[in-house]
């Protein structure tokens, strides 16, 4: 990282911590141990990046409280992570963050993040379209190079679901629940979509990379088809809409905390966090798989995050794939 980039990041972090208040150039320079000219140059660069920083002679610089710019520097200034999100690329428009991650960025380090203002070809589970216009949500993908066996990759999905619920609670003031396997719901309305994909090494058959794509609805999407409107929700339906950079940074921070449990061999602790947020245990559900659809009762969760169900004939089994709908 060059000197200008380092100063820019430190200036933005200081402005973020004092968001809405003014910091003089002299105070910033003294606190950061740099020249006032370096601070001025960093401010100019941040403004060019799209951040709404105003300056008043004699009073200093201020990052506006209502600034909702989405920049890599803005997200990174709010992170509390060691690895996840420490390298970020933010683009105005993209087909799909998952697709482009696989096409262009698999050589980036573990924890790299690709985010976009909008997706023109967003994808969900089971081949569904994830409509993602600008201004209605946040869309980003995390790249992992896991030192994990193939049987453990589902834990990344559990970690993402836990992270989204925690981040929404932190930034929007309400706590949603999880519907197995990775849907985050509030009052039965789906707030997000998560798509985890594995990149398999051809010769060895091992997982070389995992990509975890996350989209969260901030506001109702005018492009939702009618069948989606019946089940979809947005953060604005239930609380204040957080700044996008703050929401993404919170998800990444909580994801690192959750995923690190798996890296440390503490999968049981992650499953416990996931289980306590599930909304389907003890309820009647409909199980949907590529081959069939049938009624069952959700009776629990096993140690690997598989859903335990009881069918009408009394047989109990564990679901590792497919999805469910909750019978109201």
The annotation status of 264 as a binding-site residue, yes or no, is no
Cβ-Cβ contacts under 8 Å for 83 (sequence gap 6 or more): 110, 111, 256
* Cβ neighbours for 51, distance < 8 A, ≥ 6 positions apart: 12, 63, 67, 69, 71, 73, 74
Same domain assignment for residues 148 and 266: yes
pLDDT given at position 235: 98
Do residues 288 and 227 share a domain?
no
CB 242 within 8 A of CB 251: no
pLDDT of amino acid 296: 95
CATH number at residue 187: 3.30.930.10
Same domain, 39 and 122: no
CA dihedral in degrees (241, 174, 216, 53; nearest 10)?
A: 30
Calpha distance 154→180 (Å, rounded): 12
Asked if residue 35 and residue 109 are part of one domain, the reply reads no
- Whether residue 121 is found in the same domain as residue 156: yes
The predicted model scores a pTM of 0.90
191/220 Cα distance (integer angstroms)? 10
pLDDT in tens, 91-130: 999 999 999 999 999 999 999 999 999 998 776 665 566 6
97 is in an annotated binding site: yes
- List the structure tokens of 260: 């690190």
What is the chain's mean pLDDT, rounded? 91
Q: Are 226 and 153 in contact (CB under 8 A)?
A: no
Q: Are residues 200 and 266 in the same domain?
A: yes
Instruction: Find out whether 119 is annotated in a ligand binding site.
Output: yes
Same domain, 45 and 143: no
Structural domain boundaries, residue 117: 72-275
- Mean pLDDT on 277-305: 93
Number of domains, the chain: 3
The arithmetic mean of pLDDT across residues 249-258, rounded, is 98
Residue 43: predicted pLDDT: 94
* Same domain? 268 vs 296: no
pLDDT of residue 16: 85
Mean pLDDT of 35-59: 90
Same domain? For 88 and 191 the reply is yes
Check whether 124 is labelled as a binding-site residue: yes
Q: What is the CATH number of the domain that holds 32?
A: 1.10.10.10
Is 125 among the annotated ligand-binding positions?
yes
Q: Please give the average per-residue pLDDT across 177-193, as a whole number.
A: 94
Is 22 known as a binding-site position?
no
**Region for residue 120 given its phi and psi (left: phi exceeds 0; alpha: psi -120 to 50; beta: otherwise):** alpha
The answer to whether 80 is annotated as binding is no
Same domain assignment for residues 159 and 219:
yes
pLDDT value of position 73: 84
Same domain, yes or no: 97 and 157: yes
193/321 same-domain check:
no
Known binding residue 102? Answer is no
Q: At which of 38, 63, 88 does a domain end?
A: 63
């Amino acid at each position: 990282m060059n000197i200008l980039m380092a100063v820019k990041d430190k200036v933005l972090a200081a402005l973020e911590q004092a968001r809405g208040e003014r910091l003089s150039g002299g105070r910033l320079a003294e606190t950061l141990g740099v020249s006032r000219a370096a601070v001025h140059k960093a401010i100019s660069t941040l403004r060019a990046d799209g951040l709404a920083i105003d300056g008043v002679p004699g009073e200093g610089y201020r990052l506006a409280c209502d600034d909702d710019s989405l920049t890599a520097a803005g997200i990174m200034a709010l992170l509390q992570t060691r690895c996840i999100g420490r390298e970020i690329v933010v683009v105005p428009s993209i087909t799909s963050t998952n697709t482009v991650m696989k096409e262009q960025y698999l050589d980036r380090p573990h924890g790299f993040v690709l985010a976009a203002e909008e997706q023109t070809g967003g994808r969900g589970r089971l081949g569904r379209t994830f409509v993602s216009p600008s201004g209605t949500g946040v869309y980003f993908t995390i790249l992992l190079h896991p030192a994990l066996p193939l049987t453990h990759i589902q834990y990344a999905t559990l970690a993402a679901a836990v992270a989204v619920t925690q981040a929404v609670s932190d930034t929007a003031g309400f706590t949603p629940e999880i519907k197995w396997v990775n849907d985050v719901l509030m009052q039965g309305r789906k707030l997000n979509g998560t798509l985890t994909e594995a990149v398999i090494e051809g010769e060895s058959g091992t997982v070389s990379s995992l990509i975890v794509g996350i989209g969260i609805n901030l506001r109702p999407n005018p492009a939702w088809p009618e069948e989606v409107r019946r089940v979809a929700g947005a953060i604005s339906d239930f609380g204040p809409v957080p700044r996008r950079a703050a929401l993404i940074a919170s998800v990444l921070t909580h994801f690192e905390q959750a995923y690190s449990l798996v890296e440390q061999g503490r999968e049981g602790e992650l499953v416990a966090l996931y289980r306590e947020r599930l909304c389907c245990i003890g309820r009647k559900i409909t199980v949907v798989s590529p081959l069939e659809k049938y009624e069952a009762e959700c009776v629990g969760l096993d140690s690997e995050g598989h859903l335990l169900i009881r069918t009408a004939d009394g047989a109990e089994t564990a679901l590792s794939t497919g999805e469910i709908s909750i019978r109201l």
